[in-house]
Chains A and B, each alone.
Chain A
Amino acid sequence: MESGNILFKGTKDGVIVMVRGNSDYLSVEQALKDKLHKAGNFFKGSKLYIDFSHADIDEEQQSIIKNQIMKDYCVAIKDIDAGKNKMFTGTYEGRTRFIKGTVRSGQNIEFWGNIVIIGDVNAGSQVVAGGNIIVLGALRGMVHAGASGNEKGIIAAYSLQPTQLRIAGIISRAPDGENVKPKCPELARVKDKRIIIEPYVPDKFYD
């Protein structure tokens, strides 16, 4: 059953609804409604798993869609954590979110793919990505690359001075005492189960 960018899949636990493509959330919502409307009472009382992991819709909009569908069609909506169960493998080529502007204290940015930040990441903020994290600016906050378990994730910044770096399950923190501003862009990656930081030289990064 396929309708535009929405795909229904029946499993023994319920129906998985896969949302794909870059369409905005209003059209996704409309497409979902059309689909469910056509089916009449068929889905009433059943469990729907809506999988947004292949769509470009943020969490707030996802919950708006979920709530609407739940109210209008008497179905139970369950969360499907595709990103959590499955390791993100697109550190070489994969879905990437671009963030323009400074990420400030208290802000939390999470994405199952790669993240590129065009701006600073200030202390007190948190950036979590399934893949790589690249900061075109100063990185002073906590960042977690390869959060779904991919140790190939890298973290790079023009000025790498984080409170904490995490790649997959490995955690490292800034050394105690005076923090020195790095003089060149740096790159953090996992080598022998430890996070190492090296100056970023264009030819040096082989993986």
Chain B
Amino acid sequence: MGVAYVITSGKGGVGKTTTTANLGTSLALLGKRVAVVDADTGLRNLDVVMGLENRIVYDLVDVVDGLCRLKQALIRDKRFEGLYLLPTAQTKEKTSVRPEQMQKICDELKQEFDFVLIDCPAGIERGFENAVAGADKAIVVTVPEVSAVRDADRIIGKLEARGLTDHQLIINRLKADMAKRGDMLNIDDMIDILSIKLLGVIPDDEKIIVSTNRGEPVVTDQESLAGKAYRNIARRLTGEKVPFLNIEDEENHGFLKGFFKKLFRK
């Protein structure tokens, strides 16, 4: 019996979908059986980020409506053993699915998979209700901005009201130099405000944009610092103890490496 995680944030555009795709891929690379579920009906993206858009035949809403079996809607990612995507419909609305139906689907998926990762839509309405209905644990994603932290706080309150008290935080898109100068919220401040366990910190990385546009998860890029951070988080989810990356040092290190590379190329 697996565990279902909902990946949520309240605010849009902080990296829920990217996080879902990359954690799903990393966990699959660690040999786990993983199902990633897109709960953002009407504004689906997870399929695009994972590069599986053109393989969608059936979706979550079809399963709910009884047009197909759950197995038929699951798309196997051929690049990674054990990774499956349950896409949702782009032409329907959030109200096409009810929380109890979502819960049933998650329960079914948990029989089959070690990890079920649910990509939650932004907002606190029906889409959120659906996404959290079947989840056992939550991963809250935020970025070092006051508005995102505020929304994360609201979401944590909502999760707790639903009895989802096992929640952890991912701080995304941290710019180490800015945080050091005090121009950005620092990690300790955010943990202090949200009073929540830290799961990991993802440094700001341009490679993420390239990889999401291409539909190739960044975790496959051994050079990328963000990829490394995601891989570490995945290992933490499997129960392994992995020390936090020192983003500052790594960035400098990365910079130097790039510098030497350039030097040698010449």
A residues within 8 Å of B by Cβ? Answer: 101-102, 104-107, 119-120, 122-124, 138, 140
Contacts and interface: CB of A to CB of B under 8 A. Distances in A.
A138 B194 CA distance: 11
Contact of B153 (A101, A104, A119, A138): A104
Which of under 10, 10 to 19, 20 to 34, or 35 or more describes the interface residues of B? Answer: 10 to 19
Nearest to A104: B157
Contact of B150 (A101, A102, A105, A119): A105
B195 A124 contact: no
Nearest to B156: A104
A107 B150 CA distance: 12
B98 interface: no
A105 B157 contact: yes
Given A105-B150, A107-B157, A122-B153, 17 more contacts: A101-B160, A104-B156, A104-B157, A105-B153, A105-B154, A105-B157, A106-B154, A106-B157, A119-B195, A120-B193, A122-B193, A123-B150, A124-B150, A124-B153, A124-B154, A138-B192, A140-B193
Query: What secondary structure prevails in chain B residues at the interface with A?
Result: helix
A105 B154 CA distance: 5
Interface string B143-155: 0000000110110
Contacts of A122: 153, 193
B167 to A, nearest CB: 12
Contacts of A106: 154, 157-158
A142 to B, nearest CB: 13
Nearest to A124: B150
